[in-house]
Amino acid sequence: MRLSVQAKVYAAFIWHGFFLALTMSMLDLNTVFPSLIAELTPSTIVFGLLYSIMLGIPLLFNVVFSHYLRAHPYKKKFLLVGIHLRSFSFLGMAASTYLLAERHPAAAMGSFFVWVFLFSISAGFASISYADIAAKALPREQRSQMYAAKQFFGSLAGFLGGLLINRIFSQTQLAFPDNYALSLAIGFGGLLVASLGFYFLEEPPSPLPKNSTESLRQYLRQVPSLLRSDRSFRRFIIVENMASFSIMILPFYMVFARERFAMGSEYLGRYVIYQVLGAVLSNIVWGSLAKRFGPRAVVRTCIIMGGLLPLLALLLAQLGPDWFGLVFLLLGFIVSGRRVGFEPYLLDIAPDHRRTEYLGIRGTLNIFVVILPVIGGALIAWLGYPFTFVLTAVVMLMAAGMFGSGPGELPTIDESG
């Protein structure tokens, strides 16, 4: 029995999402990665800088990537190149951890800046291709459902990854740095397997914009006028920047727990499982919300939860490390919600022939993701966790109010250009 075109698209994206989630559990940015960096350096500022590179580099270059990619009707080859570069950066981090982390932690830390840069810049190249393929392969009304289905299976894979992380870090005979090196090596293999889903996907061509041959300088000059003409897109950029305050402190919850409870890695696997369990359970909520009210409702709910979580973290910190696990459970809800809500909402408001441009401009203008982790590390170092967490809550709740409620808006862009 031959699969329909829609079934093939679902299969490719769910396959990739499943093994990507399994892979990213090995370097979970909110638990494993902060714990590893804390082993190498006590500086929250250095960690914030590394985290800024991890999240921000792909965004800084997105407008350049989009200028290049929009002239190519087929994006799959670029997606595969990006995935393979990310997998080899995992291998580089695994080698650096195994060979340098114990005796030469400063050298290991320095090498991580190189591998994380490669990991991040290849992610930026791949993400635009990924979103463009998803948008043109499925009609608008099916995108949020596909993202929710992908997130559901990815959450199951993440749960398996959490069990594997728990197993790795509970083995007394597998001490630092071998435990981290093994998890990173598994991530290398997982990303290679994840890429296989796209080899068999038949990609439809993208519509090319009329001005696809213009120079990068000309391309950049049009950004202000596009933002002025499309109110929905402009507001989305502002709100997403404000919502980046939540991302600023996500990795510091683990650092906070390590300092607050004077614990090592014994809770690491448990917190990963809590986070993935939250992501699994959240898919019931996000999928239903997206189906009934659209991705905009998912975005707003996710922002509100991101504003309340730091306040809850301060409260649960008084009750001990077991209760603090609830923070990571809700963290799973928020991370999952961002994936189900933000990108599908942008794909809904972006005109088809300018989709690549919207994706690139959105990434590069989300500048707060680049600088906030460094600022967050500095604020924590100078003013402490309570001040930083409360500040995050205030900004997030302001962003939720700005985004408003109700169904998503249709694009308001002037199509004459």
pLDDT at 316 (0 to 100): 92
Domain-embedded: residue 153: yes
Domain-embedded: residue 210: no
pLDDT at 409 (0 to 100): 44
Domain-embedded: residue 279: yes
Query: Is 320 in contact with 263 (CB distance < 8 Å)?
Result: no
Domain-embedded: residue 410: no
Domain-embedded: residue 390: yes
Using a 10 angstrom Cβ sphere, with 0-12 exposed, 13-18 middle and 19 or more buried, the burial of residue 373 is: buried
Q: What is the DSSP letter of 352?
A: G
pLDDT at 214 (0 to 100): 66
pLDDT at 313 (0 to 100): 93
pLDDT at 210 (0 to 100): 64
Instruction: Give which of 108, 120, 92 is closest to 29, Cα–Cα.
Output: 120
Number of domains in the chain: 1
Domain-embedded: residue 209: no
pLDDT at 407 (0 to 100): 39
- Angle separating helix axes 5-25 and 178-199, nearest 10 degrees: 170
138 three-class SS? coil
Q: CA of 132: how far to CAs of 24, 66, 199, 359, in Å? A: 22, 10, 16, 8
Q: Which residues of the chain have pLDDT under 70?
A: 1-5, 55-64, 67, 140-141, 143-144, 172, 207-216, 219, 263-266, 363, 369, 404-417
Domain-embedded: residue 293: yes
Instruction: Give residue 308's identity as a one-letter amino acid code.
Output: L
The CATH number that applies at residue 359 is 1.20.1250.20
Domain-embedded: residue 414: no
Which residue range forms the structural domain that includes residue 331? Answer: 5-199+219-403
Calpha distance 146→15 (Å, rounded)? 12
